[in-house]
Chain A
Amino acid sequence: MSSQKHGAAFINRQSFIELDARERATALFDPGTSRELVGPFDRVESPWLPMQGVTPQEDDGCVVMKGKIGGQAAVVIALEGAFQGGSMGEVSGEKMTAALDLARADSERGIPTSAVILLETGGVRLQEANLGLAAIAELMASILAMRKHAPVICLTAGTVGCFGGMSLAAGLASYVVLTREARLGMNGPEVIEQENGIEEFDSRDHALVWAINGGEQRFAMGLADALVDDDTPQIAEAIRRFVTKGLPPVHRSSQVALYRRRIEALDTSRQWDPKELRTLWAGKGSEGDK
């Protein structure tokens, strides 16, 4: 499938990246079936941000919506990348974790309920430090419990990408959906440059950043399940496909022997061209998937 749409098709595409978290979440549901839970009017905001002169957001940058995707019960949890970099605070973290627990409870009671998590996030919100970090650990625990019953689908579209502790949440997902603009990695280039120098990672080298963390690279390495264009109907269709598919036979993060062997086989005496790992790990070139 061509990775570029030209002419009218390109102009007519509906950008998903330009949507805010609420709009993104709404767009993934079967029309008219979704409702928001603990939204801005419930006023559950961060207790910690106002204490340090930072204006809170009434939904704490996390939108939870419940409804149907492809006719099946689903919950969508969307982080707002524009608020505090989509970072995990006490409230946004608990919204995500509690929503997953409720979806799991429904699944256990006979209503399989998938979870779709929209990850635009740099990880822990440093203004809430230990509560943010704890929230990520608890979220990860809830993903593990949830994914015994129904799929947990993680979607990162950009522009923030998925970094920090929240990249581990993506690592635990049943399915990962990425655009080319998306980036997925544990440590951002600036942090690596700070810790180990510019030789290790020049954070201003954008081509390098996407060559390593970009959606196309991750997909080509076999670490994502779909590579999508920045087009809302296409993205909604990809999500629908995975909701309908149900649980994978085995989760990526459980394939320890496979990945351990792959790491052992790497020649650590040099840096690699990221494309080498495409061949090594997935035998792929650079193709998209619809």
Chain B
Amino acid sequence: MGEYTGVRGTVWFRAFTGSASPMPGDPNSVLTADAPLGKDRARFLCVVPDPHARFPCARHGEVGLEEAYTLAARVREVVDSDKGDVKRPIIAIVDVKSQAYGRREETAAIFLAAAAAADAYGSARLAGHPVITLVVGQALSGAFLTHGYQANRILAFDDEGVMIHAMHKAAAARITRRSVKELETLAKDILPMSYDIRDYAKLGMLYKLLHVDNPEKPSPQETQNVQSELAAAIEDARRSPVDLLNRLQSKGALEMRKASLLVRSKLEEQWREG
């Protein structure tokens, strides 16, 4: 499984927007830009490593306090400026190592910062903005809940460097008191535990798996193809309800989330009784 290199986010942000900068006044760890996408002008957002970040525990691609509130602010800006107008798409490019693990972060309530970013993304979606996430690298745990998981549609590359999961292998093994090897064996039979993005795709939450030969060096044609896929996802989102129920209605969900569907239908049935 690929290690986090911290370059993919910048590469794809630049490929889509022609630049790789924060907005004035923002920390260097959050890239934000508005650029054409299909027939829209979309806002692109990406969290990247900043070795000079103010917070020592957020210097290697972690989503920390500043990153979360900056994302929240830049997403809200789109919603506030589009009121009564065309709802612009919001594109989250995701390659994040993890959330920031630090004493300062806990003291200053990183849980609220993360919630604020998720609130911004989710509220934008509820307001009618198509929110699309492109996982170009790693999307872990609290970092993904903060930046990307509230999207209408999630796309990902299908290579070894792409991972969506709740916890890195070594830490997960430690906490569940197994060896990494045991964890990998379990993951073969238990799909939700797998670290393979192709297995994640079978769970039904992913809109599309895309192939790019080398995600760290996309060709102009590949970039264009991915942009078309994003534009298609935007159109699909615009035609659909603004909630996340599509994740439960997919083919993958029908096969792999039967218990979720059973719970929902039983709850609906019993809610009305008595």
Contacts and interface: CB of A to CB of B under 8 A. Distances in A.
A17 to B, nearest CB: 21
B16 interface: no
Contacts of A168: 111, 114-115, 118, 142, 145-146
Given A47-B258, A52-B186, A266 B108 contact: yes
B97 to A, nearest CB: 10
Interface residues of A, number: 83
B71 to A, nearest CB: 9
Contact of B263 (A98, A141, A260, A268): A98
Contacts of B107: 212, 271-272, 274, 277
Contacts of B175: 126
Contacts of A165: 141-142, 145, 166
Query: Mostly helix, strand, loop or mixed at chain A's interface?
Result: helix
B165 A141 contact: no
A38 B267 contact: yes
A172 B113 contact: no
Q: Which one of B108, B115, B193 has the highest number of Cβ atoms from chain A below 10 Å of its Cβ? A: B115
A27 interface: no
B123 interface: yes
Interface string A247-272: 00001111111011011101010011
B85 interface: no
Contacts of B115: 140, 167-172, 252-253
Contacts of B102: 192, 196, 200-201
Nearest to B242: A145
B116 A132 contact: no
Given A44-B262, A200-B102, A223-B112, A144 B119 contact: yes
Nearest to B265: A98
Q: Which one of A42, A51, A126 has the highest number of Cβ atoms from chain B below 10 Å of its Cβ? A: A126
B166 A133 contact: yes
Contacts of A171: 109, 111-112, 114-116, 119
A216 interface: no
A102 B166 contact: no
Number of chain B interface residues as a range: 35 or more
A196 B104 CA distance: 12
A192 B99 CA distance: 11
A48 B194 CA distance: 13
Contacts of B141: 124, 133, 164-165
B39 interface: no
Nearest to A148: B126
A35 interface: yes
Interface of A: 35, 37-38, 42, 44, 46-48, 51-52, 64, 66, 90-91, 93-95, 98-99, 102, 123-124, 126-138, 140-142, 144-145, 148, 164-165, 167-172, 184-187, 191-192, 194-196, 200-201, 212-213, 218, 221, 223, 251-257, 259-260, 262-264, 266, 268, 271-272, 274, 277
Interface of B: 54-57, 65-66, 69-70, 72-73, 76, 98-99, 101-116, 118-120, 122-123, 125-126, 141-142, 144-146, 149-150, 164-167, 171-172, 174-176, 186, 189-190, 192-194, 200, 203, 205, 243-244, 247, 257-260, 262-264, 266-268, 270-271, 274
